[in-house]
Amino acid sequence: MNRRNTGYLIAAFPSGFLTLAYCLLMLCKVFAIITGMDSTAEHGGWLWWTAVVAFCLTIAQWPFYLLWVAISKELSFRQKVGWCVVIFLLNMFAMPYFLWCKFRQTTVSGLLAIIGRQRIRDYLK
């Protein structure tokens, strides 16, 4: 395995943890609401600890991903701004997606694929 692939593999662990942690938190909260179970910090300690770690990882990873977008040579200025907005708004889902797009070297088409409005896609091209 080369250094590039090793770097992506290392970055995938915290990035993937975010998505799994938030999805697990959401599923447990929905389950608690449906069943009427108490899911406070005292009763669901592992769940809240997972959420706190995931939140801290999100805050810690934002600067790295935003810097990575800023120094990406294949992106235009508009595309960099687009990726920054996407990463900020969809953080736990956008970070692994950006990582996947960088790994596959499809960051431009990956960004355009998730933009719903044609006018915005045309602006970012």
Q: What is the pLDDT of residues 70-95, one digit of tens each?
A: 999 999 999 999 999 999 998 888 99
> Which structural domain range is residue 27 located in?
3-124
Closest among 81, 73, 71 to 111, alpha carbons compared: 81
Per-residue model confidence (pLDDT) at position 93: 87
Structure tokens at 68: 């990575």
For the chain, the domain total comes to 1
Residue 51 has pLDDT above 80, yes or no: no
Per-residue model confidence (pLDDT) at position 87: 93
